[in-house]
Structure 1
């Protein structure tokens, strides 16, 4: 059985990520406007810091999970490019009433993922030496960062390169949800564990979908959570693949796949399952009786 820990590099390494959109908000009302649209507390975020968050429909369903970076003159949202058509239109819907400009600036940046043992020390050394400005760095977890490289900026990292698909494996192992076109507007933020990832503020003012999100917390209206599965399969897996959970001698369809990392017959999956799923539950792929999938713990406490 695969040991997922081997997917984390033993030294700082770079991943070239081409599937991430960068959305900029600027103007006198940018902070206030975005704060009224998303689950995280934009106004409480210090300049130079980042946070996870979600942008929801009025019914509380997530349009995009994003990482927000607050800079001196603007706000940057990073999330999957395939979600941008729907999400960006919703984000701009009421902008005409505020002094805010919202634009897709993805073409201005190369998004690099940098991860591996010792990356925090390496990053601090690079910033201290003046090789990079600190403002375009986003820390995801210990020894794991995004770097927003401006296209015209020359860059020579001199780091080993990893294939981009393995960045997806790190997201899955870290329990960070990533939506696709298939799962956009399917789940409330708590079903994606965003409350455990500090991506929801329950004390700030109103925002789109806030009533539904608050009800899920205070009335126990949410009964799903993000889990991690690993195992072996005998077919290509996608977010549309059906998985089954063993119940006695029978198998029942269970859960929705959010994200997939696969190398030959070995897979890692992030899956939304009933929140009372037992740790020793056994899963398989539908119509693949030889497949075996088991749960591994998410690396944080879920309420």
Structure 2
């Protein structure tokens, strides 16, 4: 298991993309597209959120921050090719512009003991970094830092990008890739347990399916954290099998993964109600073994 550094560490992230929304209708437009309630966010605040198709299946999950002149979405860059056109589709009817602005930003992870105190000394105001940057808290003593490309990098020890992925897995935070677009409803990635879904905001794309999953108990799956060992590389979307007696049955696929020295941690969408001592393995890696880990939050419906 990974442990937090004794002081804040900066993790340069090369696999993140940034989408910006500008224009006077940006909030109104995005409010009708995503799962969180943007109207409830103050300037400088952020939320986990999802963008669904009309059937309630996710094009993307992301962190959304509300800035003075724009809204920014931070997400896995593999999602952009399919998700961006879908997000733009109805913007032509609003005074809102949706753009991939990844080249304008540098994205970092921040984590370590004392991070909150360090940020209090560095920030200009509500999560505002000097020079136009923004901090997005994602878990206790964990945050994303978005800096304009021209802004100097903070003078901190730099960590490994894969280690940041492991920290996010331990925090039970979803990170979907292109392989899983159109496959999961938001509750399957635990967005409701992470305050990423509003059930009172009104209509948005896919809202009927999301509401039905809550009020009719239609969702039977959730995202879980597994940990164990494998001597072979594990990739996103590899099949995971669960042991049933002397046999193995497909249980899900790898959503995100961290590996080091034979140890591994990963997230996967699995059936709810699994026994806590269930045994899993990576398909084709017969010597691998994985077990369920406690989530750091309550898995509400």
Fold similarity call, TM over 0.5: yes
Matched residue SS, 1:147 = strand
Offset from partner CA, 1:200-253 (integer Å, 9 cap, x none): 000011000000110111111100000000001121111232221111232211
1:5 shift after superposition: 3.7
Query: Hey, what's the Cα distance between the residues in 1 that align with 2:190 and 2:118?
Result: 30
Query: Hey, what's the Cα distance between the residues in 1 that align with 2:91 and 2:286?
Result: 51
Q: Does 1:105 align with 2:63?
A: no
1:287 shift after superposition: 3.1
Query: Hey, what's the Cα distance between the residues in 2 that align with 1:153 and 1:241?
Result: 38
Query: Hey, what's the Cα distance between the residues in 2 that align with 1:113 and 1:227?
Result: 22
Query: Hey, what's the Cα distance between the residues in 1 that align with 2:24 and 2:155?
Result: 40
Contact 2:133/2:146 (8 A) holds in 1: no
Change (3 A) 1:60 1:29: same
Query: Hey, what's the Cα distance between the residues in 2 that align with 1:285 and 1:111?
Result: 31
Match of residue 192 from structure 1: 189
> TM-score, normalising length from structure 1?
0.94
Match of residue 217 from structure 1: 214
Query: Hey, what's the Cα distance between the residues in 2 that align with 1:75 and 1:128?
Result: 19
| Superposed CA RMSD | 1.6
Query: Hey, what's the Cα distance between the residues in 2 that align with 1:101 and 1:120?
Result: 34
Question: Pick from 48, 52, 62: which aligns with 2:48?
Answer: 52
Matched residue SS, 1:221 = coil
Q: Does 1:33 align with 2:29?
A: yes
Query: Hey, what's the Cα distance between the residues in 1 that align with 2:286 and 2:123?
Result: 52
Match of residue 239 from structure 1: 236
- Which stretches in structure 1 are left out of the alignment for 5+ residues? none
Query: Hey, what's the Cα distance between the residues in 2 that align with 1:142 and 1:131?
Result: 19
1:154 shift after superposition: 2.7
1:291 shift after superposition: 1.6
Query: Hey, what's the Cα distance between the residues in 2 that align with 1:285 and 1:153?
Result: 42
| Worse overlay, 34-43 or 250-259 | 250-259
| Worse overlay, 94-103 or 241-250 | 241-250
Q: Does 1:79 align with 2:75?
A: yes
| Worse overlay, 186-195 or 290-299 | 290-299
Q: How many residues align?
A: 298
> TM-score, normalising length from structure 2?
0.95
Query: Hey, what's the Cα distance between the residues in 1 that align with 2:152 and 2:289?
Result: 47
Contact 2:256/2:268 (8 A) holds in 1: yes
Contact 1:71/1:135 (8 A) holds in 2: no
Contact 1:243/1:253 (8 A) holds in 2: yes
Match of residue 164 from structure 2: 167
Query: Hey, what's the Cα distance between the residues in 1 that align with 2:129 and 2:146?
Result: 14
Question: Pick from 54, 61, 67: which aligns with 2:63?
Answer: 67
Query: Hey, what's the Cα distance between the residues in 2 that align with 1:40 and 1:222?
Result: 19
Matched residue SS, 2:191 = coil
- Which stretches in structure 2 are left out of the alignment for 5+ residues? none
Matched residue SS, 1:169 = helix
Match of residue 279 from structure 2: 282
Matched residue SS, 1:73 = coil
Contact 2:133/2:148 (8 A) holds in 1: no
Once the two structures are superposed, the pairs formed by residues 104-143 of structure 1 within 5 Å of their partners are 104-127=100-123, 132=130, 136-143=134-141
Query: Hey, what's the Cα distance between the residues in 2 that align with 1:35 and 1:14?
Result: 32
Contact 1:127/1:133 (8 A) holds in 2: no
